[in-house]
Amino acid sequence: MILLVAITATVARFGAPAAVVSAQDVQDHKQSAPTQPASQKGDKVFASSCAGCHGLDGRGGDRAPSIATGRVQRLSDSQIFGIVQHGITGTGMPAFHSLSESEINSVVAYLRVLQGAKETIALPGDANRGKALFFGKAGCSACHMAAGQGGFIASDLSSYARTHSVDEARSAITNPNPNGDRLARTATVTTSDGNKFVGRVRNEDNFSLQLQDLDGAFHLLAKSDIKRLEYNSQSMMPSNYGSTLSSGELNDVISYLMNVANGGESGTPQAETPKENPEED
Ligand code: HEC
Ligand code: HEC
């Protein structure tokens, strides 16, 4: 499972010139950053090409803003790649035509290391109360995983807040995409012998369908045995959190997600990211 995700992430990294920050980017960082040997070459490239303006720690200087903190953390790898390759016209950020693609990739990986070593950011609420809500009253953990605990029927939110702002998180929670991806909805399968399965379709080909039921069990069903397949008209993500949670509670839940994504919770991979010394040769 982990391996599969890592392979997909690699394909996405080199394949798609994605302009938006997606869930895939989150996976991308989570799966590849800690083991990325490229960041070692990246520290040299960074020291010689970037540090003069952005500072050795990437936190900015007289000539350029911080790229270790703030909005750059929410840019995808491919967006940063594009900035380094083409520069930002009309500003002091030059284009680095002299760097090879692999050097740029390594400098992006190193930038993620610098970003991981940042200070704690201001949370809109209380992360501990948010954790209690996530695993308690708000019921998020029935479907979502965070820091290795919770459900699996919806996406793992452990690193969600690394690439999404507070406002984006708030709107994803209170105003979920009503007609999102078909696969984000539950499906009900009725087989010709009268059995019913409810869950998420994880895989489908011409002859079979793989369904994960709400208890987590996988069912491989032959299409020839399926009498009916119906997708629920709505995503499983409840659409009423805007009214069932107070705005304070919402801020607490978002704070919990931010805390987890920034390694505030033991057991998250980000917490183990080694801090490298860019001055070492
Ligand atoms: C000659 C100085 C200089 C050098 C060298 C330099 N930068 Fe920049 N960089 C800037 C300036 C100035 C900006 C701000 C541009 C603007 O006003 O939007 C910037 C912006 C950026 C941004 C976008 C920041 C944002 O908030 O959108 C990224 C990412 C970035 N630089 C990465 C790098 C990397 C990686 C390197 C090394 C390969 C590098 N820069 C080298 C001057 C520099
Ligand atoms: C009944 C199941 C269920 C519950 C309960 C639930 N969610 Fe979701 N959530 C989903 C599904 C399904 C999606 C859409 C796609 C996916 O993430 O799999 C989703 C999407 C999201 C997204 C967007 C994810 C992305 O990658 O864009 C966020 C953020 C989120 N939920 C947060 C929460 C929070 C916080 C709670 C609790 C306050 C919660 N959810 C409760 C099922 C649920």
pLDDT in tens, 48-69: 999 999 998 898 988 999 999 8
* 218 and 258 share one domain: no
* 65 and 133 share one domain: no
Predicted confidence band of residue 11 (pLDDT cuts 50, 70, 90): very low
- Would 278 be classed as within a structural domain? no
How far, in Å, are 39, 146, 153, 168, 258 from residue 77 at the CA level?
A: 13, 23, 27, 19, 19
pLDDT at 242: 93
Q: Which domain holds residue 91?
A: 2-116
Q: Which ligand 2 atom sits closest to the C-alpha of 154?
A: 18
Q: Is 142 in the pocket of ligand 2 (CB under 6 A)?
A: yes
Measuring from each residue's beta carbon to the nearest atom of ligand 1, which residues come in under 6 Å? 49-50, 52-54, 63-65, 67, 71-72, 80, 83-84, 88, 91-94, 96, 107, 111
pLDDT at 39: 61
* 46 and 172 share one domain: no
Query: Of the candidates 94, 116, 138, which is a domain's last residue?
Result: 116
* 50 and 62 share one domain: yes
- Would 280 be classed as within a structural domain? no
CA–CA distance, 13 with 78 (Å, rounded to integer):
7
% of the chain surpassing 90 pLDDT: 47
- Distance from Cα 256 to the centre of ligand 2, integer Å: 14
Instruction: Please state the separation of Cα 281 from the chain's center in Å.
Output: 32
Reply yes or no on whether the pLDDT at 185 is more than 90: no
* 64 and 96 share one domain: yes
Q: Which ligand 1 atom sits closest to the C-alpha of 71?
A: 26
Which is more confidently placed, 199 or 270? 199
Reply yes or no on whether the pLDDT at 82 is more than 70: yes
- Would 9 be classed as within a structural domain? yes
Which of 22, 155, 233 best tests ligand 2's pocket when mutated (most atoms within 8 Å of CB)? Answer: 155
CATH number of 218's domain: 2.30.30.100
User: How many domains are contained in the chain?
Assistant: 3
Task: Please state the rounded mean pLDDT for residues 153-165.
Answer: 88
Reply yes or no on whether the pLDDT at 132 is more than 90: yes
* 250 and 221 share one domain: no
- Would 122 be classed as within a structural domain? no
* 47 and 100 share one domain: yes
Structure-token match 């208890």, residue found: 215
Q: Which ligand 2 atom sits closest to the C-alpha of 177?
A: 14
Query: Is the Cβ–Cβ distance between 189 and 209 less than 8 Å?
Result: yes
Q: Which ligand 1 atom sits closest to the C-alpha of 46?
A: 37
- Distance from Cα 106 to the centre of ligand 1, integer Å: 16
Which of 66, 93, 100, 115 best tests ligand 1's pocket when mutated (most atoms within 8 Å of CB)? Answer: 93
* 14 and 140 share one domain: no
Reply yes or no on whether the pLDDT at 174 is more than 60: yes
Task: Please state the rounded mean pLDDT for residues 179-186.
Answer: 68
CATH number of 251's domain: 1.10.760.10
Task: Please state the rounded mean pLDDT for residues 252-263.
Answer: 90
- Would 187 be classed as within a structural domain? yes
pLDDT at 24: 41
Which is more confidently placed, 5 or 160? 160
Reply yes or no on whether the pLDDT at 28 is more than 50: no
- Distance from Cα 101 to the centre of ligand 2, integer Å: 36
* 150 and 250 share one domain: yes
- Would 168 be classed as within a structural domain? yes
Other beta carbons within 10 Å of 55: 20
- Would 202 be classed as within a structural domain? yes
Q: Which ligand 2 atom sits closest to the C-alpha of 241?
A: 38
- Would 106 be classed as within a structural domain? yes
* 229 and 148 share one domain: no
> Can you read off the two tokens belonging to residue 210?
């793989």
Q: Is 155 in the pocket of ligand 2 (CB under 6 A)?
A: yes
At 71, the amino acid letter reads R
Closest-lying ligand to the alpha carbon of 45? 1
CA–CA distance, 252 with 56 (Å, rounded to integer):
34
Q: Which ligand 1 atom sits closest to the C-alpha of 96?
A: 38
* 6 and 59 share one domain: yes
* 101 and 6 share one domain: yes
